[in-house]
């Protein structure tokens, strides 16, 4: 009787110890339950058993593998954010970056916005779109300044539009203004709205007006637009290089500014038949069809007169005599041709006249 009792107690102790050992020997099952999932014991075809952790989405894996982190429930895939969409807790799709969702103020300023959310955009691709503006993506949306507009001294200031250049302010320095955008500097017209002598001297430097003297020295005022520089009216060794005028070439000789020296196209006129040619530097010429003939008698300061009738066989007593036109006025006619004889006589008379004039000058 005692032996049976001891045997029963021994069996109860073994069962208790085996149950306790099984409970503490499977922490994987405990971990599965603690994570909110269900642990099950599955029996294989060969009779072997194993623990399985069943997840809420219906999937399962070996509880020990789950315990070691080798498997688990399927993770939810959050789609990426497209251009113009708020970032929130997500991420921007490939090629996009988060930028602040803000727009310029009424006057165009970019004020800082506290707590502004972010949106996804392709900022940096050179195209201003999908919620981008000059405030949140200046690389793509930097506005340009048009003709006559000022560029302020601020970070990321806009550039001048294509074809324009940045001039200094008209009155330099000008606080807060970096410059003015313009394409007019260099057109020879001083635009009072954008240009001055300070920022565009090529257009706005003081110029010389009609009739004013100018010197051809770099840095000195030039003739105003539409005028050209001609020589002084008379030769001068002074500093004046010439006179600014638009009248030379108009066919009229302006006695105040023009002369045969600086504007021969207006002031050099030919001498008509019977008119005298003075003995001066660059004397006027005889009109077409006439030639210089010596005067009837040598005259101081007179080179000759313009004549075209010597050789016609008739002695014109007013201008011709045997001295300057022997063919027409000599009693003894030459046997040579009229023109050759007249030319020879005229040349001799001119030579004689010049010699006589020189003698008179020496005697005086």
Q: Both tokens of residue 227?
A: 């005028």
Top-confidence residue, 189 or 113: 189
Q: Both tokens of residue 232?
A: 């002084």
Q: Are residues 285 and 330 in the same domain?
A: yes
- Kindly state whether residue 124 falls inside one of the protein's structural domains: no
pLDDT at 193: 84
Residue 88 contacts residue 101 (beta carbons within 8 Å): no
Q: Are residues 282 and 314 in the same domain?
A: yes
Predicted TM-score (pTM) of the model is 0.31
- Kindly state whether residue 218 falls inside one of the protein's structural domains: yes
Q: Are residues 312 and 329 in the same domain?
A: yes
- Kindly state whether residue 169 falls inside one of the protein's structural domains: no
Q: What separation in angstroms does the CA of 223 have from each of 53, 226, 248?
A: 100, 8, 14
Q: Both tokens of residue 179?
A: 């410059």
At residue 359 the predicted structure's pLDDT band, cuts being 50, 70 and 90, is very low
Average pLDDT, whole number, for the chain?
Answer: 78
pLDDT at 233: 79
Last residue of a domain, one of 252, 268, 284: 268
DSSP letters of 105-127?
Answer: -TTS-----TT--EEEE-TTSS-
Tally of structural domains, the chain: 2
Q: Are residues 264 and 321 in the same domain?
A: no
Structure confidence by residue, pLDDT tens digits, 232-286: 877 765 555 788 898 888 878 888 888 878 887 788 778 889 889 888 887 888 8
Last residue of a domain, one of 233, 251, 268: 268
Last residue of a domain, one of 221, 237, 268: 268
Structure confidence by residue, pLDDT tens digits, 194-207: 888 888 887 887 88
Q: Are residues 233 and 264 in the same domain?
A: yes
CB atoms within 10 A of CB 158: 17
- Give mean pLDDT, residues 72-85: 78
- Kindly state whether residue 19 falls inside one of the protein's structural domains: no
Q: Where are the alpha helices (DSSP H) in the chain?
A: 2-25, 27-34, 63-68, 138-141, 201-204, 264-267, 326-329, 338-363
Q: Are residues 283 and 264 in the same domain?
A: no
Residues ≥6 apart with Cβ < 8 Å to 242: 213, 214, 216, 229, 230, 231, 232, 262
- Kindly state whether residue 237 falls inside one of the protein's structural domains: yes
Distance between terminal CA atoms of the chain?
189
At residue 124 the predicted structure's pLDDT band, cuts being 50, 70 and 90, is confident
Top-confidence residue, 157 or 94: 94
% residues pLDDT > 90 (the chain) = 7
Least confident range from 123-132, 207-216, 331-340: namely 331-340
- Kindly state whether residue 347 falls inside one of the protein's structural domains: yes
Q: Are residues 302 and 323 in the same domain?
A: yes
Structure confidence by residue, pLDDT tens digits, 12-33: 555 554 544 444 558 888 889 8
- Kindly state whether residue 53 falls inside one of the protein's structural domains: no
Structure confidence by residue, pLDDT tens digits, 142-158: 778 889 888 888 776 77
Structure confidence by residue, pLDDT tens digits, 332-344: 554 444 554 555 5
pLDDT at 259: 83
Q: Residue 309 and residue 315: Cα distance in Å, rounded?
A: 9
- Kindly state whether residue 18 falls inside one of the protein's structural domains: no
Full domain range(s) for residue 261 = 209-268
Q: Quick one: DSSP state of residue 283?
A: P
> Does the pLDDT value for residue 101 go beyond 60?
yes
Q: Residue 142 and residue 98: Cα distance in Å, rounded?
A: 18
Residue 7 contacts residue 17 (beta carbons within 8 Å): no
Q: Are residues 292 and 337 in the same domain?
A: yes
Q: Both tokens of residue 121?
A: 């955009």
% residues pLDDT > 70 (the chain) = 78
Residue 123 contacts residue 99 (beta carbons within 8 Å): yes
Q: Are residues 286 and 356 in the same domain?
A: yes
CA nearest 308: which of 317, 297, 320? 320
Q: Both tokens of residue 152?
A: 């302020």
CA angle, residues 152, 153, 157, in degrees to nearest 5: 70
């Amino acid at each position: 009787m005692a032996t049976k009792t001891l045997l029963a107690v021994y069996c109860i102790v073994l069962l208790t110890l085996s149950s306790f050992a099984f409970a503490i020997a499977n922490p994987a099952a405990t971990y599965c339950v603690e994570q909110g999932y269900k642990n099950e014991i599955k029996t294989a075809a060969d009779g072997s058993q194993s623990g399985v952790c069943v997840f809420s989405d219906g999937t399962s894996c070996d509880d020990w593998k789950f315990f070691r982190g080798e498997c688990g429930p399927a993770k939810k895939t959050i789609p990426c954010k497209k251009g113009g969409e708020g970032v929130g807790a997500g991420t921007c799709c490939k090629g996009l970056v988060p930028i602040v969702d803000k727009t310029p103020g009424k006057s165009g300023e970019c004020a800082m916005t506290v707590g502004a959310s972010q949106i996804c955009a392709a900022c940096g691709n050179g195209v201003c779109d999908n919620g981008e503006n000059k405030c949140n993506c200046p690389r793509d949306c930097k506005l340009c300044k048009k003709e006559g507009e000022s560029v302020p001294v601020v970070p990321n200031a806009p550039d001048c539009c294509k074809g324009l250049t940045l001039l200094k302010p008209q009155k330099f320095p000008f606080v807060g203004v970096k410059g003015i955008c313009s394409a007019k500097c260099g057109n020879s017209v001083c635009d009072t709205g954008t240009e001055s002598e300070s920022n565009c001297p090529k257009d706005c430097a003081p110029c010389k007006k009609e009739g004013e003297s100018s010197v051809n020295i770099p840095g000195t005022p030039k003739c105003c637009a539409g005028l050209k520089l001609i020589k002084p009216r008379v030769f001068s060794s002074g500093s004046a290089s010439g006179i600014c005028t638009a009248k030379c070439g108009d066919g009229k000789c302006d006695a105040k500014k023009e002369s045969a020296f600086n504007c021969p196209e207006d002031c050099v006129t030919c001498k008509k038949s019977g008119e005298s040619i003075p003995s001066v530097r660059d004397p006027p010429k005889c009109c077409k069809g006439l030639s210089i003939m010596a005067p009837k008698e040598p005259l101081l300061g007179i080179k000759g007169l313009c004549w075209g009738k010597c050789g016609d066989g008739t002695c014109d007593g007013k201008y011709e005599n045997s001295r300057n036109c022997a063919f027409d006025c000599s009693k003894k006619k030459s046997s040579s041709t009229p023109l050759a004889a007249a030319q020879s006589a005229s040349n001799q008379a001119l030579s004689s006249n010049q010699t006589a004039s020189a003698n008179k000058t020496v005697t005086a």
